[in-house]
Every structure is written in C-alpha cells, then in structure tokens.
Structure 1
Amino acid sequence: MELGLFTCGYQYESIEAAFADAAAFGYDFIELWGGRPHAWAPDMTAERAAHLRELSERYNVPIRIYTPEHNGYPYNYMLGDEGQWEDCMRYLARSMEAAAQIGASHTLISVGHGGHTEPQYRHERLMRSLRRLAEEARSTGQTILLEPLSPFESNTCTTAAEIAAVLSELNDSTVCTMCDMVASYVQDETAAEFYQCTGSAMVHLHIADSDGRSEAHILPGDGTLPLRSELETLRQAGYDGTATIELVSMYTDDPSYYARCAIERTRELL
C-alpha cells in the first residue's frame, strides 16, 4: 500500500520542508492541504503552481491529491443561501483547477454539516452539489474523492451505506469515495466493511488512530483503534488503493518528528 504525507501539519513550516521530509522518510506521495500559506486555491498563481511542481520533481514525491479547506468558515456547500452556495461552488471549481495546475489527479471533497434542516432537504442539497461538482471535475480532468466525515463533524452521509447509496444515485464515474478510519471507527464500522459496501468506488484511505470518542486523528499506535487487524482485514478484502496518514492540527508543533514516527509505525503495522 502506497502511503502519502498530508501537509496540513506543516502549515507553520515552509512547504519545502514537507517535500523534503516525505522524501527522507519514505513516503510515496503528497496529499497537499489547500490552505494558506502554501496552497490555497485563490492564491494559486502560475508561479506558485510551478514552484510546487518543481518541489515535487526535485524530491521525487508526486502530488497525488489536493484537499481544499472547506466545510467550515467561510465555505460549506451544505449550508447557506443561494448566493453562498454559488460562492462555494466557484471556490471548489477553482480548487479543482488548482489541483490540475500542480499535477494532482484527485481533489478531495468531504460532506459538510447540513444544519438543523430536514433530512430530505439535506439529501437534495448534497445531490445538487455533487452533480455541479462532477461537471466541474470533468472540465478540469479531476476525479473527486468524496469523503464522509464523522457524526461529530457532519449530520449528512457519514456511514458506508449512506455513501454507497449517494454514489449509486449519482451514477457518475467522476466521483469516487474514500474511507477515513477514524470516522468509521467512531460509528462501529471498519475500513473493510466500508470497502465491501462501496466496492471499486473506494480508491483511497485515511489512516490515523482514534480515542473512540471524538473526531480526533491521533498518531498511529497512540489510540484505541485496532489498526493492525483492520489494515490486515482490509488487505484481505482486496483493497489495493492508496492511503494518506492523516495527521492534522494536533501535530503542528513538530511535524517532522511526527511524520517520521507515523510512517515508521504504519509500515510496521503493514
């Protein structure tokens, strides 16, 4: 299984530090966080994109996935009036253009919180958004990785069965899905069950440990998630896609140290 480094943890470092560490520690690819100061889509000039491509080439670490910052302030396509929805659609379209500029093949888009609205309204808004985003993805040559979040983060489409139903209704090969092991674990699901439910539509995985009580993404080995058995069961089920070790804001104090620990522990688990 090829393993990626998520650059969110490096938001207080230079982006070159993330590429240098990925190469030094044996990561196979980069999942690029689309936030400032490194890669926020509206900042993605031709010069900035060229710099990111040059770093990728120099360190021989491809950028496979671009993950724009959204589903919080100020962008959440599941909430707001028509003008706010259009603004979010334009932002995510620009994000897919940015992904294409830096050579990424996938843009990761998660399902935000739908607010205190009726389930049918949330479903209709999600489907309308995905249809629009799929059109934008085709125009930029991107494949969307649709990520279901945990119930602590979203009230819409959080389980494997729900994401499978959405993909079936959408019926668009431009939109695939991925499993976040923490989001599954806190709902008493496993990554293997997610894969069995979604089949070939699941093409990516986020690896992290969990306390079982929140959406916190913890360094592998420091939580209660049975990572070794879950990864082995997933492999036996036939999953052969990629995985990113998803360390986020908890580890920004020393991202290099934690990036090294994370891949060493994950390689040992695999």
Structure 2
Amino acid sequence: MRWGFVAFPKPPEDYLNFAVENGFSHMEIDLFAPQQWLGRFHSTRTRKLRQQLEALGLTSSFHAPYPLNLADFIPEVRAAAVRYVERLLQVACELGAKWVTVHPGYGLGIPTLEWVKAKAMDNLKRSLDRLLPLAERLQVPLALENINPVPHDSEIVFLLDSAEELGRLLSEFPSPALKVCIDVGHAEVAGGFSAFWSVAQNRCVALHVHDNDTRSDLHLVPGTGNINWQSVLSTLRDGGFDGAINVELFLDEHKVAAKQYLERIWADLKGGK
C-alpha cells in the first residue's frame, strides 16, 4: 500500500521535493489546472518527469479533468472527450503512470425523465468500448471514480453515484484494463464506503480520501468531519488492499495533516493485528 496525494493546483514538478520530504510514494497528477493541461505534457517534459519520478522512487497516475464527459449526449462532443482520453492514455504510457482516473460523466435534463440517466449510461458504455482496447494495448488501466449524488431536483445526473450502479457496470466490462478509484468522501454521501468496496474490491487500484459530514462533498481534512476512518482503514487492511491512498486536498499543509492522521490509525490497526 502506498500513501499518495493528488498533485493540484501546482505542476507535478513542484511537488517532487514535497512528496519525498513528507513520505509520500505516489503522485496523482490532476489535469484540471491550466499549467497542467494535457497539451503541456510534450514528450521532452514527460520524459524528464518520468526520470525524476523514478529517481525518487515515486509512482504516478493521472486524473482527467472532472468536467470531461464521456457520457455526453452530443456525439461530436463525446467523440472529442474520447479522443482526449486516448491521448491521455498515450501520455500516461510515456510517463510510466500506473493508471488514469476518470469521472464517468453525466446527463443533463429534466430530473423526472428516467431516460436521461439511461441514455448517459449508454453513452459511457460506448466510450468504454472505444477506450478499453487501447488501455489494454498500452497496459494503462482506466480507473472509474464513483461520484456523489446530486439533489433529486437537479437537472444534472451523475453516473456511478451508487454502489449498485457501479457493480452492474463492472459486471458488463470484465476487461483487465477497467479498474476503480473509490472516492471515500463521495461514497460516504452515497450509502457508505463499505457498499462500494463490496462491489469493487477486486478492481480497486486507488482511493481518494477527504472528509465530510456524510451529507455533502466538502473535501475536509480527515479527522475533522464525520467519516469513520478506523472502519475504512480496517476494511482495507482486512481486504489486503495494496493500491494507493491518495489525499485529495489542495493546500500542502492539509495534504500532510491528512496523511499523518491516517498513518496513525493505520499503524494502530497493523499493530493490533
């Protein structure tokens, strides 16, 4: 198991010393900030960053920008999203990244219309049909992230906002290139971490960790909200989890505080085994 963090909002190069000094061994590069847009990862930069990561013993992954919609209703827009992820998979392969985390996408429409979510899910599946063969060929898995539910009267409908939906999708796509990143904060707003773990344990390569009040996606430092982290980490220990626990907080001091808090719990659990 590796302690990691989401590299945001600064460029990944600016986090190299930070990672080593604070005992992190994994870096997930978030591509949302302008200085980290995918087009800036030209071959020279990618090659140099790979050398730096390997020299420091750091593994890496990418996080696609969260507005990216692989379930878009407009064919031309969805095709552009697919092309973006295809390029991202290629860059990830060049970097030696272990996986690419992606949000599953969303539908837009009147919330009482059940076909809105069904159509969005169908579009996501079409995108996966296109992307997974490339991911298999490059040996860079796609890790789908579960999303927190939106209010029932919202006109945006997120996919994979329940463990049941995630489980159904995974059963339809047995590809070894389709993995899962369980966002613990999102999961706790959507029925609890254990429900998502039960359907995704065998395909989970990473977690995103941050705290909340179990009602809203607040991205608080673990230990300052209501999530039972001892229960979460006990589940990981008992399940033999060997992926990355990535702190998804944005201030450097919060990244460090989160890791230190969770490390203390993990050490107590391992000691009491």
TM score, norm. by length of structure 2: 0.86
Q: CA RMSD in A?
A: 2.0
Aligned-partner residue type, residue 44 of structure 1:
F
Which residue is 1:53 aligned to? Answer: 50
State how far apart, in whole Å, the 2-side matches of 1:50 and 1:178 are. Answer: 26
CA contact (8 A) 1:209 1:227 kept: no
Paired positions, count = 256
CA contact (8 A) 2:3 2:25 kept: yes
State how far apart, in whole Å, the 1-side matches of 2:54 and 2:180 are. Answer: 28
Which residue is 2:269 aligned to? Answer: none
CA-to-aligned-CA distance 1:131-166 (integer Å, 9 cap, x gap) = 112123124321111112111385322122211110
CA-to-aligned-CA distance 1:96-135 (integer Å, 9 cap, x gap) = 1111121102111111221126133122112111111212
Which residue is 1:144 aligned to? Answer: 142
Q: Structure 2 matches for 1:59-78, cutoff 5 A?
A: 59-63=56-60, 65-70=61-66, 72=67, 75-78=68-71
State how far apart, in whole Å, the 2-side matches of 1:58 and 1:259 are. Answer: 22
State how far apart, in whole Å, the 2-side matches of 1:256 and 1:237 are. Answer: 30
Structure 1 SS opposite 2:238: helix
Which residue is 1:267 aligned to? Answer: 263
Aligned-partner residue type, residue 17 of structure 2:
A
Structure 2 SS opposite 1:95: helix
Aligned-partner residue type, residue 150 of structure 1:
N
Which residue is 1:90 aligned to? Answer: 83
Offset, 1:186:
0.7
Structure 2 SS opposite 1:66: strand
* Higher relative contact order, chain-length normalized (CA < 8 Å, sep 6+): 1
State how far apart, in whole Å, the 1-side matches of 2:175 and 2:186 are. Answer: 24
Aligned-partner residue type, residue 201 of structure 1:
R
Compared CA separation, residues 3 and 96, structure 1 to 2 (3 A): same
Residue 108 of structure 2 corresponds to residue 115 of structure 1: yes
Offset, 1:209:
0.9
**Which consecutive residues of structure 1, in runs of 5 or more, have no partner in the other structure?**
none
TM score, norm. by length of structure 1: 0.87
Which residue is 1:187 aligned to? Answer: 190
Which residue is 2:234 aligned to? Answer: 232
Structure 1 SS opposite 2:30: strand
**Which consecutive residues of structure 2, in runs of 5 or more, have no partner in the other structure?**
151-155, 267-273
